[in-house]
Structure formats: C-alpha cells, structure tokens
C-alpha cells in the first residue's frame, strides 16, 4: 500500500476536528480515501467464534481472527496476550494453543479486565479456561519485573482507531494530531516492553486497527533502530495462517492482506468491510 506523504505529521500540527481529520487522511491516502470512508460507514459483518464446549459464542471482525491466526503457536509453552480486552484474540489464541501451553491474558484497566474475565469464562470450555491466567497490569512496565519469559506474545496495541473516530461526532470533532502522538508514545512503551519479555527464538505479533503509519510501520522501524542495529537481533516473518486450525470453531473466509514495508494491512474498502488491521510478525534471534 502506498501513501502520498511519507511524513504525514510534518507541517500539519494545527489540524483539528473533522476538517483536520479529513485533510490529514485525505493527504495520506489520496484517491483511495473516499472509498475507505465509504467502507467505514457500512456495517462490518462480524463472524461467530464458538469453541466446542463453551457456554457462549463471541463475535469479532474476520481481520482480527486472521491477525491472531498469524502468530505461530507450534511448540509454544508460555503465551502472552498483553492488551487482551475485550477478549476476541485471546479466544483465538486459546483455542489454538498446544495442550501443555499456558496463556496469560492481560489488561491494564480493571473495568476492561473484568469484561475480559467474563469472556474467558463463558466463551471457553473448562479444560482450556484452567490454563489461562487473566491479569490486570500495565504492560508498558511489566518488563521491569520480568524479561525473556514468554515465547509467544500478541500485542494488539491501543491505537487511534480511525474507523470509530469517524463514526462518532464527539471524537471526530475533538480529533487532533496530538492524540496520534500520545497514542504512539504509549504504543512504543508497550512494544519495547513486549520485546524485552520475549524469549530468544520467541515470536511477537504487533497489531493495531489504525490507518496512520506512525502507529504501524514506523513503530516497527523504531524497533529496528533500538534493538536491531546489526540486523542480527530479530527478523520479520511472513505470515502463514492455517484456517484448518480454527475450522471447528468458526465459518470464515479469511480476508486478504496488503504488504507494507514492515508488515501487512487488511483494509475494509478491499475486503468487504473487514479491518482495518495492521500486523507485523517478529522473530527474536538473540538477546
């Protein structure tokens, strides 16, 4: 996917509200922006995810299912969903994890952690539920207590979520670039913490539902500059989702992705409303 402006924040500091939002993303996506806006106004058809033996089903975006499916779990032992609420991706991970693996599902907000706990309890059978620990912790500081302790990590980071902003007048009318900058600082704290908690030979999947490159590819670029200056600390992996892993739980046609510089993006204007979702898969090679 190509953006018109490689430095979308440069020279746009005074943009604000609905007009600023329109100008900023119009510059970023050019001729594609009207199609994206139109896709945002249409209902996203969620898929039903029902794990055998669970009390309830869970409904989520097919792009979210795909992202969670792209974190390889073969031979995984200790898995972490760092920003897990409301719980959809946790369910996908839990239903796929090896029988002897354990999953830590974390959320920093106590209110959202409660919602996450309910989803885990009602949407997973007891034999899987008993291998999941739901916690309430700030993922950005977790690395100060533990390092290299999880061999698989999913970080679905808080983001600008432009789809929701555009559809809510309250958020649209108060939109500003300072919000993007604040969110990106939070994302970097979470991503660098997650990387430190990843074991050697472990795999980290970073994802957002943002459109802004600052929150997506540029976040992975920062990871390269901080931890991979010699090019030997980690490598990026190509996603290899296997829908057969989840065929028993969901009737789904996986959406297709578009390649970006460091990752992959699923865009609603091309995928019948699915997304947007960005993700990048990182394989740690050494400490």
Q: Please identify every residue annotated as catalytic.
A: 209
> Which phi and psi angles does 3 have, rounded to 5°?
-105, 150
For residue 35, the 8-state DSSP code is: H
Alpha-carbon gap, residue 287 to 282, rounded angstroms: 14
Alpha-carbon gap, residue 143 to 151, rounded angstroms: 14
Torsion of CA 256, 261, 263, 264, to 10 degrees: -20
Three-state helix/strand/coil letters over 257-270: CEECCCCEEECCCC
Q: How many CB atoms lie within 10 A of CB 142?
A: 23
Beta-strand ranges (E) seen in the chain are 47-49, 58-60, 78-81, 102-106, 132-135, 150-156, 198-208, 234-237, 258-259, 264-266, 277-284
Residues near 165 by beta carbon (within 8 Å), at least 6 away in sequence: 21, 171, 172, 175
* H or E element, residue 66: helix 62-69
| CA dist list (Å): 259 to 160, 196, 277 | 21, 26, 12
Burial of 170 (0-12, 13-18, 19+ CB in 10 A): exposed
């Amino acid at each position: 996917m190509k953006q018109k402006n490689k430095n979308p924040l440069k020279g746009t500091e005074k943009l604000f509200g609905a007009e600023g939002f329109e100008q900023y993303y119009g510059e970023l996506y050019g001729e594609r922006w009207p199609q994206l806006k139109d896709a945002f106004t249409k209902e996203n058809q969620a898929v039903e995810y029902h794990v055998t033996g669970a009390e309830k089903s869970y409904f989520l975006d097919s792009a979210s299912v795909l992202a969670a499916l792209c974190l390889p779990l073969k031979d995984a032992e200790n898995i972490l969903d760092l920003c897990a609420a409301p719980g959809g991706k946790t369910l996908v991970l839990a239903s796929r994890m090896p029988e002897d693996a354990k999953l830590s599902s974390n959320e920093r907000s106590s209110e959202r952690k409660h919602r996450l706990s309910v989803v885990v309890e009602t949407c997973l059978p007891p034999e899987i539920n008993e291998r999941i620990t739901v916690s309430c912790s700030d993922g950005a500081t977790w690395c100060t207590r533990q390092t290299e302790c999880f061999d698989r990590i999913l970080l679905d980071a808080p983001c600008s979520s432009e789809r929701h902003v555009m559809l809510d007048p309250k958020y649209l009318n108060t939109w500003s670039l300072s919000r993007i900058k604040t969110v990106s600082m939070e994302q970097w704290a979470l991503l660098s913490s997650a990387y430190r908690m990843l074991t050697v030979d472990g795999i980290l999947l970073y994802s957002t539902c943002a459109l802004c490159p600052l929150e997506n590819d540029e976040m992975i670029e920062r990871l390269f500059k901080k931890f991979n200056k010699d090019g030997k600390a980690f490598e990026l992996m190509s996603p290899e989702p296997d829908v057969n892993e989840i065929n028993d739980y969901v009737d789904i046609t996986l959406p297709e992705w578009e390649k970006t510089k460091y990752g992959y993006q699923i865009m609603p204007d091309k995928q019948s409303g699915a997304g947007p979702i960005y993700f990048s898969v990182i394989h740690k090679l050494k400490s």
